[in-house]
Structure 1
């Protein structure tokens, strides 16, 4: 690796400029700049069931402007603001005067970008193959024959075996460009869990922002013994209710449907691994037997996959029988809490602290798994080990450089223009360590009987692991897999640095 490629901000590249447009979502401004969507074009959003029609115009800078003067960078935000409801897939909502959907223009833009790649015999051709595969996936989704595959196989289309921050962003962006998403969210479940590539959501109109009528109320609450008063559900507010006219005329927002970042409940192995349960009509003997055979400390009580009644524990059953030897099984049912697989793990910790476990709902609101305090402790323990080793590696590298090299030479390499105002070894970053040790002159000063290229190549691999960990993007345990490499590097530094 050359010295110019060791910067901490190194970007992921896959194919030509990381796919077609930098691995990001297509914007309305892209269509304007490409001449596919002239400024001033009137757009219409017709909700067929109610007959309501909304209009907007395309601005010179690629925004969508509503009649009240409010401008939006994304079609979905504009559609939600126009109706005061949502969410909507704006790309399939807004159409041109001739009936052409914005989504069709987006596909035309992507096809034009992919065409130059289709005949190339190079690694970049992977982008063209992926483009063709995504187009086929969209066709299948539109004809109700969607593609289902594991997260691992999905990532393989992007040449990746795990979900770092950059590749997750790229996968989500390219899926969105083709009007696709995964159910469940590929970023919120395990690598070997299966996901389905689905198309744009259908505007059901009457069900917007409403809880499905057949969803049991207990599914949305902490529940306990039947008949026990339940807490009132939180007040629901429209996700995209139109703000007052006095709001800024140029609404700022990021890309639509950004992938989940950070550790989610679904990333835990047990979260969607199935659940053993009993019905509220069960007997103490049935619950006892199932808990003993499986080594459980608690057992969910379900009257159907979506109808959570609570749970029983060793303590609750003992207490019920202690207070009344003839107590019915229902007396042993205690409160349980259900969370979504897509919830952030950090947000679930208070519920785990209170209950000792949580039930996990999948994308269809079925109880699909259970997470205990032990599961979370194991997860955080696995995450902590590479963090500690990365810290030790950082200290060892700084010690090697500070004790073996001259500060002035190091500053000349890492801050030649003086912008960073480096004045001590303690200010060096991991990228600086690489930059210094990649320099042949500085390497020779250390006098190590080691191969510089092999050493710095390994250091670069560890830098990538470090960056994923520091951004809490190491969903797939690359850090854990790198533990032997980290330990070997630390041992080597200690051995040769004295």
Structure 2
């Protein structure tokens, strides 16, 4: 079973018909019957023939949506219909694609659906699923974060259960006060542990922006709480423990933090959480700043495949072939690095002695501390292809490769490229359609005289510019003004957040509003 969103028009103009008649309806009135159009290429040809003035991007985009509606959506699938009242309807698809050629004043392309529930408040849906519904496409699939199961639960009138991989208990910590109460309730040897992602969500944050970090630090200090390791370190999926760090010592004169880190009977999850306790800042020292730490990469927190001192060189070679590795760390019984064995080192050792063992084939390996600044290691990783990562006990805890860097920085560059294209398209359409005197009118004071084109506008000025009725009419866009302004404001907020440093990558769901706006701008100006 799959789950889809099928909208009822840009302004919800088809939603009443959809709900009353038990159907899904999409537009594209200029397109004929698609019943016998079976392949994606055939759909594309039909779209291109029906809309000859549209560019390749728009034709491709529309083809994907129509192909989903006609062929990919199956009877039994769930469908979500966002309503203009900010409610949501959920139904189950009961029939195949139909073409209503006899209809003269309404949509021709239809699927039958049984509505299971018609009045779900969007506020009862958790933010990650709401964001997934935020695309401006008419037809798209909800496939992330267990969407199908969650929508099925909502259709039964039950609350959104949240991400299947989320900590169920953490999901109940909806505000700082609840977190404080839970920490106080627990015994020192059973601390509250949760992911950094779930910890940030207690404050309504998704990434570690400086303002959010300072607010959380201030709240923790006020309550005498501390996280072990610091929540500013590690990837966003790393586990931390939340402790009453300011509590007075017990009868033995030890603090909660010392008792926790010195206990040998803790669960593996808690042991992992406290592993970097040695990095706790002195209470009197200045607050640590968030940076690109080596530990911010997930691979730096994932134990790599390895061989141990005393293993045979055949074991190392077998593992490298099976896993497709170029090198393996060689660890001692305590998990500390003793060197690296690679195909090159094995070859050199065997040239000197065909009977060379693992020790002879082991060479020195690069090793970074998980708290090191990642930027300082980029050159070494690019040159050697890797660096091993150690924790505060100097035990190997991860491996960062050049491909990890490529993924990390590729993920970070993507949002900036997306926002830059949005800004370029906005500048071009403004310069082409709106006179300079009206552009200057949205800039206050003397600064207006220094405006020579849209390139001199701030991003926020576009919202003021497009609110004006004359300016909007000059665009001659067949889209809803209010929805466009809302999307523009969401993008402005996303852009502002993006400009504030955070070590955490932007997720696909967080990109959706900006991606939707870009798709809309491309559709309005397909030849750009």
The answer to whether 1:257 aligns with 2:303 is no
The answer to whether 1:448 aligns with 2:477 is yes
Distance 1:283 1:328 in 2: 6
Once the 2 structures are TM-superposed, how far is the Cα of residue 192 of structure 1 from its aligned partner?
2.6
* Matched residue, 1:433: 462
Which structure 2 residues correspond to residues 303-318 of structure 1 after superposition, within 5 A? 303-318=332-347
Please give the secondary structure, in 2, of the residue aligned with 1:317.
Answer: helix
Distance 2:512 2:357 in 1: 54
Distance 2:516 2:174 in 1: 40
- Alpha-carbon RMSD: 3.3
Q: 1:150 aligns with which of 182, 192, 195?
A: 195
Once the 2 structures are TM-superposed, how far is the Cα of residue 158 of structure 1 from its aligned partner?
1.2
* Matched residue, 1:496: 524
* Matched residue, 2:234: 189
Please give the secondary structure, in 2, of the residue aligned with 1:271.
Answer: helix
Which structure 2 residues correspond to residues 38-437 of structure 1 after superposition, within 5 A? 129-134=175-180, 136-137=182-183, 140=186, 143-200=188-245, 256-261=286-291, 263-362=292-391, 364-413=393-442, 415-418=443-446, 422-424=450-452, 425-437=454-466
For the structure 1 residues 185 and 339, does the alpha-carbon distance in structure 2 shift closer, same or farther, using more than 3 Å as the test? farther
Q: Deviation per CA, 1:415-472: give whole Å up to 9, x if none.
A: 3222576422222121222332244443233232211221122222222332333334
Q: Deviation per CA, 1:119-153: give whole Å up to 9, x if none.
A: xxxxxxx9995235325526758x34421111222
Whether the aligned pair in 1 keeps the contact of 2:182 and 2:192 (CA below 8 Å) is no
Please give the secondary structure, in 2, of the residue aligned with 1:192.
Answer: coil
Once the 2 structures are TM-superposed, how far is the Cα of residue 372 of structure 1 from its aligned partner?
0.5
Once the 2 structures are TM-superposed, how far is the Cα of residue 370 of structure 1 from its aligned partner?
0.5
Q: Deviation per CA, 1:394-416: give whole Å up to 9, x if none.
A: 11111111222222222222x32
Once the 2 structures are TM-superposed, how far is the Cα of residue 474 of structure 1 from its aligned partner?
6.2
Once the 2 structures are TM-superposed, how far is the Cα of residue 363 of structure 1 from its aligned partner?
5.2
Structure 1: gaps of 5 or more residues:
1-125, 206-238, 241-253
Whether the aligned pair in 2 keeps the contact of 1:352 and 1:372 (CA below 8 Å) is yes
Distance 1:373 1:473 in 2: 21
Please give the secondary structure, in 1, of the residue aligned with 2:464.
Answer: helix
Distance 2:331 2:173 in 1: 47
Whether the aligned pair in 2 keeps the contact of 1:336 and 1:355 (CA below 8 Å) is no
Select between 331-340 and 131-140 the one with higher mean Cα deviation: 131-140
Once the 2 structures are TM-superposed, how far is the Cα of residue 320 of structure 1 from its aligned partner?
0.9
Runs of 4+ in 1 over 6 A off after TM superposition: 201-205
Once the 2 structures are TM-superposed, how far is the Cα of residue 154 of structure 1 from its aligned partner?
0.9
Please give the secondary structure, in 2, of the residue aligned with 1:358.
Answer: strand
| Number of matched pairs | 323
Please give the secondary structure, in 2, of the residue aligned with 1:418.
Answer: helix
Distance 1:129 1:484 in 2: 26
Q: Deviation per CA, 1:52-96: give whole Å up to 9, x if none.
A: xxxxxxxxxxxxxxxxxxxxxxxxxxxxxxxxxxxxxxxxxxxxx
Distance 1:260 1:130 in 2: 21
Distance 2:413 2:296 in 1: 16
Once the 2 structures are TM-superposed, how far is the Cα of residue 279 of structure 1 from its aligned partner?
1.8
For the structure 1 residues 297 and 127, does the alpha-carbon distance in structure 2 shift closer, same or farther, using more than 3 Å as the test? closer
For the structure 1 residues 132 and 407, does the alpha-carbon distance in structure 2 shift closer, same or farther, using more than 3 Å as the test? same
Q: Deviation per CA, 1:355-412: give whole Å up to 9, x if none.
A: 3211122355431111101111122222222222221111111111122222222222
Distance 1:268 1:128 in 2: 27
Distance 2:238 2:509 in 1: 20
Please give the secondary structure, in 2, of the residue aligned with 1:188.
Answer: coil
Please, what TM-score do these two structures have when normalized by structure 1? 0.58
The answer to whether 1:459 aligns with 2:488 is yes
Whether the aligned pair in 2 keeps the contact of 1:266 and 1:342 (CA below 8 Å) is yes
Q: Deviation per CA, 1:243-295: give whole Å up to 9, x if none.
A: xxxxxxxxxxx99323413x332222211112221122221011112222222
Distance 1:353 1:176 in 2: 40
* Matched residue, 1:6: none
Whether the aligned pair in 2 keeps the contact of 1:390 and 1:486 (CA below 8 Å) is yes
Whether the aligned pair in 2 keeps the contact of 1:357 and 1:370 (CA below 8 Å) is yes
For the structure 1 residues 440 and 164, does the alpha-carbon distance in structure 2 shift closer, same or farther, using more than 3 Å as the test? farther
